[in-house]
Structure 1
């Protein structure tokens, strides 16, 4: 392309590209379960790593600024990574962003990891983090 011009762009944090789904949309089951979601919330509790026929599972809960709670579950490799990640945080108050996670099709929706594409970020640089921390902690 003869007339194409390439210039420098401002560096952007990759977390700012995510579209966080509101907890009430998930709890009311208005979110398409065929689409991976991004959610952000205060890490409330982390359960124990267990295993079954399908592999490893690590349950945990997160809470949004409106005090709504979502049940979450990391599977297999993500379960091990999340357990290591959680232990490294210690007992401090932390907000986590779950990126590219899927929703279960159960009576009570749950956010679960979806293979290696699912990621967890602690205290990402977003306005939502400060809002959640002011209300929850």
Structure 2
């Protein structure tokens, strides 16, 4: 939804080099591009508009590129073969967040072990409240991040955690936000752009599992 309550959608586009750009579409073309641009699929996009509003409106920053893409009625979208098998995660260190060195204007990715899963709050009827789920991520250096998921993402994360018997359970957070709370920095989901993955099939997860195994063997 946009600031006026109309249907709208934001995307994060990434090319084969890993460069990310913010893209947006207004209510007029919302439904078309919702179908034409499925998440995780490669597309060739032409006849779009470039804007520097990505910098003029900090609350809408979803990528650190100078410009953003505006999808219009005449924009052409064509399916193409994948140009890369990269997962495009850019993991930040937990210490960088805790020390306040991360720029809170931009989303960030994390990888860590689920060390604590809190209680999922019940559905709320008050529009001023949000359903939430607190949890902790722990790094290999035993640094912990306090995280909170909200609304549908909170329910999805909690159910996925209950359904997963893996131990240790490694979690990847993609496009989450860093926020300040009671003089400390925490990690919160950034709305529809945020994702989570448990034990995804990526090299970083396998490396973390092996290092945890090695640490346990040395104890």
TM category (shorter chain) comes to 0.7 to 0.9
For the Cα contact (< 8 Å) 1:61–1:71, is it kept in 2? yes
Is 1:50 aligned with 2:112?
no
**161, 164, 169: which is aligned to 1:94?**
169
Identify the structure with bigger relative contact order (alpha carbons < 8 Å, sequence gap 6+). Answer: 1
Please give the TM-score of this superposition, normalised by the length of structure 2: 0.54
Q: Which residue number in structure 1 is paired with residue 85 of structure 2?
A: 12
Please give the TM-score of this superposition, normalised by the length of structure 1: 0.83
Q: Which residue number in structure 2 is paired with residue 132 of structure 1?
A: 208
Q: Which residue number in structure 1 is paired with residue 149 of structure 2?
A: 74
Quote how far apart the aligned CAs of 1:136 are: 4.1
Separation in structure 1 between the aligned mates of residue 210 and residue 142 of structure 2, nearest angstrom = 12
Which aligned runs of 4 or more in structure 1 are off by greater than 3 angstroms? 7-11, 134-137
For the Cα contact (< 8 Å) 1:40–1:95, is it kept in 2? yes
Q: Which has the larger radius of gyration?
A: 2
**99, 120, 123: which is aligned to 1:28?**
99
Quote how far apart the aligned CAs of 1:66 are: 1.1
**Hey, which of these two has a bigger chunk of helix by percent?**
1
Separation in structure 1 between the aligned mates of residue 161 and residue 152 of structure 2, nearest angstrom = 14
Where structure 2 has 5 or more consecutive residues not aligned to the other structure, the ranges are: 1-79, 214-219
Q: Which segment drifts farther, 88-97 or 32-41?
A: 88-97
Partner SS, residue 120 of structure 1: strand
Quote how far apart the aligned CAs of 1:10 are: 5.9
Partner SS, residue 73 of structure 1: strand
How many matched pairs? 129
Where structure 1 has 5 or more consecutive residues not aligned to the other structure, the ranges are: 1-6
Cα distance per residue 1:19-67 (max 9 Å; x no partner)? 0011110011000001001000011110001256421010000111111
For the Cα contact (< 8 Å) 1:64–1:132, is it kept in 2? no
Partner SS, residue 192 of structure 2: helix
Q: Which residue number in structure 1 is paired with residue 191 of structure 2?
A: 115
Quote how far apart the aligned CAs of 1:70 are: 0.4
